[in-house]
Amino acid sequence: MITIGSLVIFGIVLLPVYIAVIAAFIGKPRQPKFAALIYGSALALTIVALVGIWIFGTIVSLIIP
Amino acid sequence: MSSYKVTTDKILQPILHTSKIFLVSAAVLLSLMAVGAYAYLTQLTQGLIVTGLRDWGVGGGIPWGAYISTFVWYVGIAHGGIAISASIRIMKLDEYKPLARMAELLTILSLAGALITIIVDSGRPDRVFNFVVYYLETVGDSPLIWDFTVVLAYFVLSAIYLGMTMREDVIKLMSRLPSKYKILYRTVTFGHKEGEKEKVEQIAWWLALSLVILMALLSGGVIPWIFGLMPSQAGWFGAIQGPYFLTGALTTAVAGVIVVASIAVKVFHWEDLIPEKVFKHLSKMLLILTVIYLWFILHEHITAQYAGPTAEKAISDALLYGSLSTIFLPVLAILILSVIFLAIQTLRKAFSMKATLVLSIILLLTFWVKRLLIVMPSLLYPRLTLYPVGSYTPTWVEYTIIIATVSFVALAYMIFMKIFPIMEIKEGEQR
pLDDT tens-digit readout, B174-198: 888 898 999 999 999 988 888 888 8
DSSP letter at A29 equals S
Q: Identify the closest residue of chain B to A39 by CA–CA distance.
A: B160
Question: pLDDT tens digit string along A9-35?
Answer: 888 889 999 999 999 999 888 889 999
Among the partner-chain residues A8, A34, A61, the one whose CB lies closest to the CB of B196 is A34
What is the distance in angstroms between the Cα of A5 and the nearest Cα belonging to chain B? Answer: 5
Local structure of B244: helix, strand or coil: helix
Alpha helices for B218-324 (secondary structure H):
223-228, 241-268, 276-307, 310-320
Give yes or no for a contact between B25 and B415, defined as CB atoms under 8 angstroms apart.
Answer: no
Give the Cβ contact number of residue B188 at 10 Å: 18
Q: Does B206 contact A23 at a Cβ distance shorter than 8 Å?
A: yes
Give yes or no for a contact between B409 and B40, defined as CB atoms under 8 angstroms apart.
Answer: no
**Bigger pLDDT: B248 or B194?**
B248
| Cβ burial, residue A35 (10 Å; 0-12/13-18/19+) | buried
ω before B275 within 30° of 0 (cis)? no
Q: What mean pLDDT is predicted for residues B34-39?
A: 96
Q: Does A23 contact B141 at a Cβ distance shorter than 8 Å?
A: no
CA-CA distance, B61 to B25, in Å (whole number)? Answer: 38
Give yes or no for a contact between B296 and B243, defined as CB atoms under 8 angstroms apart.
Answer: yes
> Which residues in chain A have their CB less than 8 angstroms from residue B140's CB?
1-6
| Cβ burial, residue B182 (10 Å; 0-12/13-18/19+) | exposed
Region of residue B349 (phi > 0: left; psi between -120 and 50: alpha; otherwise: beta): left
Local structure of B139: helix, strand or coil: coil
What is the distance in angstroms between the Cα of B275 and the nearest Cα belonging to chain A? Answer: 33
SS (H, E, C) B175-211: HHCCHHHHHHHHHHCCCCCCCCHHHHHHHHHHHHHHH
**What is the Cα Rg of chain A in Å?**
17
What's the pLDDT score for residue A13? 87
Alpha helices for A27-63 (secondary structure H):
32-63
CA-CA distance, A34 to B40, in Å (whole number)? Answer: 43
Kindly state whether A32 is in contact with chain B, defined as any CB-CB distance less than 8 angstroms: no
Give yes or no for a contact between B320 and B326, defined as CB atoms under 8 angstroms apart.
Answer: no
CA-CA distance, B161 to B231, in Å (whole number)? Answer: 38
Question: pLDDT tens digit string along B99-150?
Answer: 888 888 999 999 999 989 988 998 888 888 888 899 888 888 888 888 888 8
CB within 8 Å of B146: residues ≥ 6 apart = A5, A8, A9, A13, B139, B222, B225
Kindly state whether A25 is in contact with chain B, defined as any CB-CB distance less than 8 angstroms: no
Q: Calculate the CA dihedral of residues B403, B83, B376, B51 and round it to 10 degrees.
A: -30
Q: Does A57 contact B222 at a Cβ distance shorter than 8 Å?
A: no
Q: Does B210 contact A20 at a Cβ distance shorter than 8 Å?
A: yes
Sign of the CA dihedral with B86 first, then B84, B294, and B304 last: positive
Q: What mean pLDDT is predicted for residues B257-265?
A: 91
**Bigger pLDDT: B425 or B342?**
B342
For the cut 90, the answer to whether the pLDDT of residue B359 exceeds it is yes
Which of B199, B201, B229 to probe by mutation at the A interface, max A CB count within 10 Å? B199
CA-CA distance, B73 to B62, in Å (whole number)? Answer: 19
Q: What mean pLDDT is predicted for residues B13-22?
A: 88
Considering the four listed CATH numbers 3.40.50.1000, 1.20.1630.10, 1.20.960.40, 1.10.10.60, the one that applies to the domain covering B3-430 is 1.20.1630.10
What is the distance in angstroms between the Cα of B136 and the nearest Cα belonging to chain A? Answer: 10
- Break chain B into its structural domains and give their ranges: 3-430
What is the distance in angstroms between the Cα of A26 and the nearest Cα belonging to chain B? Answer: 10
Q: Does B203 contact A38 at a Cβ distance shorter than 8 Å?
A: yes
CA-CA distance, B243 to B296, in Å (whole number)? Answer: 8
B73 falls in which pLDDT band (50, 70, 90)? Answer: very high
CA-CA distance, B210 to B204, in Å (whole number)? Answer: 10
Local structure of B51: helix, strand or coil: coil
The model's pTM is 0.91
- The mean pLDDT value of chain B amounts to 89
> Which residues in chain A have their CB less than 8 angstroms from residue B221's CB?
13
Among the partner-chain residues B139, B193, B206, the one whose CB lies closest to the CB of A24 is B206
For the cut 80, the answer to whether the pLDDT of residue B251 exceeds it is yes
Region of residue B269 (phi > 0: left; psi between -120 and 50: alpha; otherwise: beta): left
Q: What mean pLDDT is predicted for residues B222-245?
A: 86
Q: Does B199 contact A34 at a Cβ distance shorter than 8 Å?
A: yes
What's the pLDDT score for residue B428? 46
ω before B143 within 30° of 0 (cis)? no
